[in-house]
Amino acid sequence: ILNVEQSPQSLHVQEGDSTNFTCSFPSSNFYALHWYRWETAKSPEALFVMTLNGDEKKKGRISATLNTKEGYSYLYIKGSQPEDSATYLCAFRVDSGYALNFGKGTSLLVTP
Amino acid sequence: ETGVTQSPTHLIKTRGQQVTLRCSSQSGHNTVSWYQQALGQGPQFIFQYYREEENGRGNFPPRFSGLQFPNYSSELNVNALELDDSALYLCASSGDLAGVHEQYFGPGTRLTVT
């Protein structure tokens, strides 16, 4: 079992605040790192898949960075909005075509 | 939404019974993976099917089995249900195995075992 840790477990911010979460994963045998956004009663939504050390991805106000040598990825949300409220999951992969190893997620609540 | 559908949305079964969960993959995808999310945990990999063959399996007992059909839809079967099988079951579809492909998830089936 590959240990993927996410922190914090939950986060409550005010509308307009910027925030970030951490995903830690084993640095050996790295293949890919995925981020998902999961709203209650919906399907997890794919945000990013990252493969290269130093990779940075951006989608609107959300961005992510990757450090495969030290085994962590950061997800940033700039100017949080109430619609950003969701659970953010990261998942680590060691082989092509096999399992995603998920963390427990960070639950974000953004209040007006 | 992703185009991946699952049925039923939720169901309740009794310990010892058998259950079948269904997943329709996104158009053009030939790989389906199944995950179990127990309360308070991240999703755990059960197995993956690629072109109708099992392509990898997580740490789940043999009473968890699956099928993939020629149209790439899939079933997850669980025999001899136990209370700990109560969880959200997610399926995800993706393109060919070669390279890095995103996995697109359905909304899940909530299984309660009493």
A75 interfaces chain B, CB cutoff of 8 Å: no
The mean pLDDT value for B30-50 works out to: 94
Share of chain A above pLDDT 90, in %: 80
Q: Does A52 touch chain B (CB under 8 A)?
A: no
Closest CB from A4, A41, A43 relative to B2? A43
pLDDT at residue B23, as a whole number: 97
The verdict on a CB contact (< 8 Å) between A49 and B100 is: yes
Q: What's the pLDDT score for residue A90?
A: 97
Residue A68 to residues A22, A33, A56, A104, B37, Cα–Cα distance (Å) = 13, 9, 12, 20, 26
End-to-end Cα spacing for chain A: 40
Average pLDDT of chain B is 93
Residue with tokens 């158009």: B27
Is residue B7 pLDDT above 80, yes or no?
yes
Q: Tokens at residue A81, please? A: 């909005």
A66 exposed, middle or buried (CB, 10 Å; 0-12, 13-18, 19+)?
A: buried
**Å between A94 CA and nearest CA of chain B:** 11
Across chain A, the runs of DSSP E, i.e. the strands, are 5-7, 10-14, 19-24, 32-38, 45-50, 56-59, 62-67, 72-77, 86-93, 101-102, 106-111
pLDDT value for B98: 58
User: What is the rounded distance in angstroms from the CA atom of residue B16 to the CA atom of residue B82?
Assistant: 6
pLDDT at B2 over 80: no
| Averaged pLDDT score across all residues of chain A | 93
pLDDT of residue A103: 96
**Contact criterion met (CB below 8 Å) for B106 and B90:** yes
DSSP secondary structure letter of residue B25: P
Average pLDDT, integer, range B81-102: 87
Q: Which residues of A touch B2 (CB under 8 A)?
A: 43, 45-46
